[in-house]
């Protein structure tokens, strides 16, 4: 409007110096010029109106494309809540620690694998599989870092597990059987080495003098990361943790294509038993728990058939190219043997079970729930509660009795003993060995 007012004012000033006829012509000319300016102004304002940012073209009235602001990559929140897939929008996830395979028994190096075009092509052909493992591993790393920032004495074990699992579900972007938790959070205490997670109503509280094994898994498309660490608050356990961590790293170092599983176990035992620990004035030799093992991992199958012993004398079966393993070791100040103890919380559908006729409706219903939500992945009672299931214990027992579901009760050494665990998942890729779950922490 300012432009129109300016033209009218200018016209009235000129009219004062003209005769009446000229005034009429001048007035008509000025009016016509003012009308033209007005039309141009309208076009200009129309052009502006077409673009919310004022980028319209006044001369043509054409729309200009709104420039999209480039968004930077998302960053993780505190506490973590952004799914790993959103942090890496290109879909390529961080690799773990890549290692050369150990030399063969005749002393030949495995360095040729890293440069072989054939092995590179085989590696690339499985890149989608490795990438799924890496996504699950990155979720595991971020969750465990978060857990270490808040876990402390005085928390209930249920509180610890649920807080960990809530975060894990967000970061893995839980989606039915396509992505989620691979098995229940183990938080075994002291002489209990494995397979303890609290059931509803468990009031156990974490104490300053406890030694707690945190063992949890994540998966993408059934590609499982099985990784564990030990949490302590009292420094008297430091040497025990060091012994077990060293033994696990020894197992990882020895593992490789064509390596015999028994040789890995022998190396682990030698390192583990080289440590002595003093706890409360008593000295113990650290013992590997001989009836606990590492294991091969398959799609939707946490124990895929091969076991990696942590003592000498195991199977002479060899590791093979393309396999995935959980290398885990357990050290104890007790007898070095575990037995079933306490109330069962872990369960898993038998991977090889065929069709078994079921008569009871409640048992049929529970099996459908298990198939839909867990498939052949391990689960716990808390997860059934979370799905709204109730009064399912008899149906669960029926499934166990029929051999459709296997129970996995807590595994404990003698009372008064202390146990520790460290574990990583490794990929035996054609070109190299990748410790896919490795992090800055361990």
Active site residues: 215, 226, 295, 303, 328, 423
* 423 labeled part of a ligand binding site: yes
Longest Cα–Cα distance in the chain: 124
* 215 labeled part of a ligand binding site: yes
Burial class (CB in 10 A: 0-12, 13-18, 19+), 342: middle
- Taking a C-beta distance cutoff of 8 angstroms, is the pair 358, 367 a contact? yes
Residues 6+ apart with CB under 8 A from 186: 194, 195, 196, 197, 213, 214, 215, 216, 228, 346
Query: Both ends of the chain: CA-CA distance in Å?
Result: 71
Sign of CA dihedral 411, 413, 414, 420: negative
Q: Is 142 helix (H, G, I), strand (E, B) or coil?
A: helix
- Inter-residue long-range contacts of 145-150, CB under 8 Å, 24+ positions, other chains counted: 145/439, 145/441, 146/79, 146/80, 147/214, 148/231, 148/441
Residues 6+ apart with CB under 8 A from 72: none
* 86 labeled part of a ligand binding site: no
* 295 labeled part of a ligand binding site: yes
What does the block give as tokens for 400?
A: 């166990």
Output the known binding site for substrate.
Answer: 195, 303
Output the known binding site.
Answer: 195, 215, 226, 295, 303, 328, 423
Output the known binding site for a divalent metal cation.
Answer: 215, 226, 295, 328, 423
């Amino acid at each position: 409007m300012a432009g129109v007012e300016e033209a009218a004012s200018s016209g009235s000033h000129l009219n004062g110096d003209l005769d009446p006829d000229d005034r009429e012509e001048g007035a008509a000319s000025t009016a016509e010029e003012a009308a033209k300016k007005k039309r141009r102004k309208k076009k200009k304002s129309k052009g502006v109106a077409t673009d919310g940012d004022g980028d319209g073209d006044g001369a043509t009235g054409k729309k200009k494309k709104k420039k999209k602001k480039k968004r930077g990559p998302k960053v993780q929140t505190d506490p973590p809540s952004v799914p790993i897939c959103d942090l890496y929008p290109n879909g390529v996830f961080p690799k773990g620690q890549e290692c050369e395979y150990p030399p063969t028994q005749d002393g030949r190096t495995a360095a040729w694998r890293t440069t072989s075009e054939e092995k590179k092509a085989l590696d690339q052909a499985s890149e989608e599989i490795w990438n799924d493992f890496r996504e699950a591993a990155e979720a595991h790393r971020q969750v465990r870092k978060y857990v270490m920032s808040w876990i402390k004495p005085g928390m209930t074990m249920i509180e610890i597990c649920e807080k960990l699992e809530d975060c894990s579900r967000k970061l893995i972007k839980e989606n039915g059987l396509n992505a989620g938790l691979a098995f229940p959070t183990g938080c075994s205490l002291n002489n209990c080495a494995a397979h303890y997670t609290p059931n509803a109503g468990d009031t156990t509280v974490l104490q300053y003098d406890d030694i707690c094994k945190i063992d949890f898994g994540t998966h993408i498309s059934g590609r499982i990361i099985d990784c564990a660490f030990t949490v302590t608050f009292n420094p008297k356990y430091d040497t025990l943790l060091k012994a077990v961590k060293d033994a696990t790293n020894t197992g990882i170092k020895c593992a490789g294509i064509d390596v015999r599983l028994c040789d890995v176990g022998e190396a682990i035992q030698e390192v583990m038993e080289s440590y002595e620990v003093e706890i409360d004035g008593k000295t113990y030799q650290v013992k590997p728990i001989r009836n606990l093992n590492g294991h091969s991992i398959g799609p939707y199958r946490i124990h895929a058939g091969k076991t990696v012993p942590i003592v000498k004398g195991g199977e002479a079966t060899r590791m093979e190219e393309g396999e995935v393993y959980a290398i885990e070791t357990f050290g104890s100040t007790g007898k070095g043997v575990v037995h079933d103890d306490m109330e069962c919380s872990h369960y898993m559908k038998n991977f090889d079970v065929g069709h078994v006729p079921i008569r009871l409706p409640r048992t049929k219903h529970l099996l459908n729930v298990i198939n839909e939500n867990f498939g052949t992945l391990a689960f716990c009672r808390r997860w059934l509660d979370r799905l709204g299931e109730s009064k399912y214990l008899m149906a669960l027992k029926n499934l166990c009795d029929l051999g459709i579901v296997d129970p996995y009760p807590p595994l404990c050494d003698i009372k008064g003993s202390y146990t520790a665990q460290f574990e990583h998942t490794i990929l035996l890729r054609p070109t190299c060995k990748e410790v896919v779950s490795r992090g800055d922490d361990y």
